[in-house]
Amino acid sequence: MKYRIGLSGAAAVLMALSAAAASDDKTAHDIFKQLIEINTTDSVGSTTLAAQAMAQRLLDAGFPKADVVVLGPNDRKGNMIARYHGKPGSKLKPVLIIGHLDVVEAKREDWSTDPFQFVEKDGYFYGRGTQDMKDSDAIAVSAFIRMRKEGYVPDRDIILALTADEEGGKSNGVDWLLKNHRELIEAEFALNPDAGGVRPDKPQIVGFEATEKLYADYQVLATNPGGHSSLPIPDNAIYHVANALAALQKWAFPFELNTVTREYFTQMAKIETGQSAADMRAILTTPPDPKAVERLSQDAHSNAVMRTTCVATMLSGGHATNALPGRAEANVNCRIFPGHSQEEIRLQLIKLFNDPKLTVRYRGDNGELTDHGSDRKAMAPPPLRDDVMNSLRSVAAKLWPGYVVLPIMEPGASDSIYTMNAGIPSYGISGVAIERSDDKAHGRDERVRMDAYYKGAEFYYQFLKALTTPTG
Ligand SMILES: [Zn+2]
């Protein structure tokens, strides 16, 4: 009898647990669907609608009105800030989670499904933002709701800021909040699930972003008087630009390492095999083995981690088939290694092209051309905090046993640039697993595996709790 009671008691607990898990999954699903179906593109969308929808979710879950606000510079670029209160009287500064609500433009005719419909098929969720990054926005909101439902009290406040204009537009929400309402998001450090992530295909890793490269565009321009093409002269705008680009093709910026990329290659060398593993070890010695550097540079991913890269991305010139070109121009896109500025790279390009007929100008985010790039350098990597690292390692070991946890330097830029520059160390951590072949952020048919999404939600919930569980 006792035995039977024990069994049914255990079964009841199990049933209650799986019912709770099913309801948490349903919440995470419904929030995700709602977010995908609110168009937040810069052209026709509104982050305010998405911000308000997420605010309402939190209010419905019992968050006090005073702790959930929607604010922005205009009615289309709203940001949502929610505060989850920690232990009363805690001396610890809050942890901030940032996530952008806006998405890259998507055209219906390019996609197999409607990018602004949440389509569930073949084990995937499809829609613009399913990878970048409404999945993580929905996961963060779901974690807030789940923790509150169970009455969890963290050791410090947790702030969630869902923001506008990371992908485009002129009203970057993180920047705006730091300038206008810093008190709302003041924190000891920040988590930004827009970077980092889990790779389930080989090599299996849980990567977290600890630093990132600096983005820069440059206009390379040549102008000529032009003339009739029946009387050509050697001085030709198209040749000037073409020669500059040919020089760029052959050029490689010097090899560099920092604390993050050193640790990255150290860990990667354990996963890789053969020549590639040996090369990764050989570039860590002083001085690094130049042959190893050269071989690893053939791989686009390793190359991007080893140096500043610049590449031609756009080209135009001439105005008629039978006229000498009056003008030719190219766009050169650079991803700058931390420690160097946009202006420094502009001067290096000028030196490399070595052509007084060319001008090299910096092109700002808004398209404006200037004769001088910013002197601001990409931030040096923040220290790898023990609390963040230990929480990440322990939860990752539970959810993805055998995966290597390693720091990465993202070749792209995220909103962490604003928080980092404001003195808030920022770490890119996400638990959503995406195969390397399935990187479709910004592309057509963006999608995420259903099970990877739910596991990502479980990860963030557990990670946040591990990070903020009061000790003693
Ligand atoms: Zn993003």
What is the 464 CA–ligand 1 centroid distance (Å)?
21
Is the four-CA dihedral 331, 332, 338, 340 of positive or negative sign? negative
What is the pLDDT, as a whole number, of residue 5? Answer: 41
What per-residue confidence (pLDDT) applies to 351? 98
Q: How far is the CA of 229 from the centre of ligand 1 (A)?
A: 47
pLDDT at 421: 87
pLDDT of residue 377: 78
pLDDT at 2: 35
175 pLDDT above the threshold of 70:
yes
Residue of 336, 327, 330 lying closest to 360 (CA atoms): 330
Does residue 1 register a pLDDT over 50?
A: no
- Residues 391, 468 contacting (CB under 8 angstroms): no
Distance 385 CA to ligand 1 centre (A): 24
- Residue-averaged pLDDT of the chain: 93
Residue predicted with more confidence, 410 or 59: 59
Half-sphere exposure (Cβ direction) of 405: Cα atoms closer than 13 Å = 20
Q: Kindly report, residue by residue over 89-112, the tens digit of the pLDDT.
A: 999 999 999 999 999 999 999 999
Ligand 1 geometric centre to CA of 285 (Å): 35
Q: What is the pLDDT of residue 310?
A: 98
Q: Which residues pair with 161 in a beta bridge?
A: 81, 98
pLDDT confidence of residue 11: 67
Helix, strand, or coil (residue 290) = helix
pLDDT tens digits, residue range 183-204? Answer: 999 999 999 999 999 999 988 9
Range scoring the smallest mean pLDDT among 147-161, 363-377, 395-409: 363-377
Q: How far is the CA of 29 from the centre of ligand 1 (A)?
A: 20
What pLDDT score does 380 carry? 74
CA of 362 to the centre of ligand 1 (A): 24
Q: How far apart are CA 178 and CA 183, in angstroms?
A: 8
Q: For residue 158, how far is its CA from the centre of ligand 1 (angstroms)?
A: 21
- Name the more confident of 217 and 271: 217
Residue 150 Cα to ligand 1 midpoint, Å, equals: 30
pLDDT of residue 228: 94
Q: Is the pLDDT of residue 4 over 90?
A: no
Q: What is the reported pLDDT for 202?
A: 85
The percentage of residues in the chain with a pLDDT greater than 90, rounded to a whole number, is: 82
| CA 103 / ligand 1 centre spacing (Å) | 8
What's the pLDDT at 3?
A: 38
Q: By the 8 A CB rule, do 454 and 431 touch?
A: no
Q: 21 versus 220: which is more confidently predicted?
A: 220
Q: How much distance in Å is there from the Cα of 82 to the middle of ligand 1? A: 20
Lowest mean pLDDT among 47-61, 178-192, 439-453: 439-453
pLDDT number for residue 10: 61
Distance 372 CA to ligand 1 centre (A): 28
pLDDT band at 472 (very low <50, low <70, confident <90, very high): low
Examine the pLDDT at 43 and tell me if it is beyond 50. Answer: yes
129 Cα to the center of ligand 1, angstroms:
8
* Vertex 212: Cα angle to 206 and 218 (nearest 5): 140
Res. 164 pLDDT band, cuts 50 70 90: very high
pLDDT at res. 437: 87
Cα 329 to ligand 1 centroid, rounded to whole Å? 29
DSSP string over 168-232? SSS--HHHHHHHH-HHHH--SEEE-TTS-EEE-SSSPEEEEEEEEPEEEEEEEEEE---EETTS-
235 Cα–ligand 1 center, Å:
44
Residue 64 scores a pLDDT above 60:
yes
Comparing 144-158, 364-378, 425-439, which segment has the lowest mean pLDDT? 364-378
Write the pLDDT tens digit of every residue in 212-259: 898 999 999 999 998 999 999 999 999 999 999 999 999 999 999 998
Q: How far is the CA of 52 from the centre of ligand 1 (A)?
A: 20
Query: Rounded to the nearest whole angstrom, what is the distance from the C-alpha of residue 133 to the centroid of ligand 1?
Result: 5
DSSP, res 65: G
pLDDT at 45 over 60: yes
DSSP character for 377?
A: B
- Residue 14 Cα to ligand 1 middle (Å): 38
Cα of 83 from ligand 1 centre, angstroms: 22
> What value does the mean pLDDT take over residues 121-127?
97
* Range of weakest confidence among 30-34, 295-299, 412-416, 448-452: 412-416
pLDDT value at residue 13: 63
- The environment of the single-atom ion ligand 1, i.e. residues with CB closer than 5 A, is 132-133, 194
Supply the pLDDT for residue 19: 82
Diameter over CA atoms, the chain: 106
